[in-house]
Amino acid sequence: MKKRVFVTLKPGVLDPQGRAVHHALDGLGFAGVEDVRIGRLIELELSQDVSDESLREMCEKLLANTVIENYRIEDAQSGE
């Protein structure tokens, strides 16, 4: 089964990468960009016996830094 984990910075945490992209978009002449924030998308192919609890543990221990980041788990079709 395929799962997606979205890891995003918590609100209020400074995002220098997002700021750099925002600045670069301005430099390229794109108007109307008010804010850019960058996170990670982690796609995992798991065997059927991996529980949701186990996946949450992976997120807590390795995939996200829960001090400054939030994560969200989503099912994905295996064929996608």
Query: Using CB under 8 A as the criterion, which residues of the chain lie in contact with a copy of itself when the complex forms?
Result: 6-8, 18, 21, 24-25, 28, 30-47, 49-50, 54, 57-58, 61-63
45 vs 67, beta carbon nearer a copy of itself: 45
CA distance 40 to 19: 16
Taking the least distance from each CB to a copy of itself, the nearer of 53 and 67 is 53
Find the shortest distance in angstroms from Cβ 32 to a copy of itself. 4
Residue closer to a copy of itself (CB basis): 38 or 73: 38
- Position 18, amino acid: G
From the CB of 31, what's the least distance to a copy of itself, in Å?
8
- In terms of Cα–Cα distance, which of 62, 69, 63 is closest to 14? 69
In angstroms, how far is the first alpha carbon of the chain from the final one? 11
- Rounded (10°) CA dihedral 21, 22, 25, 29: -160
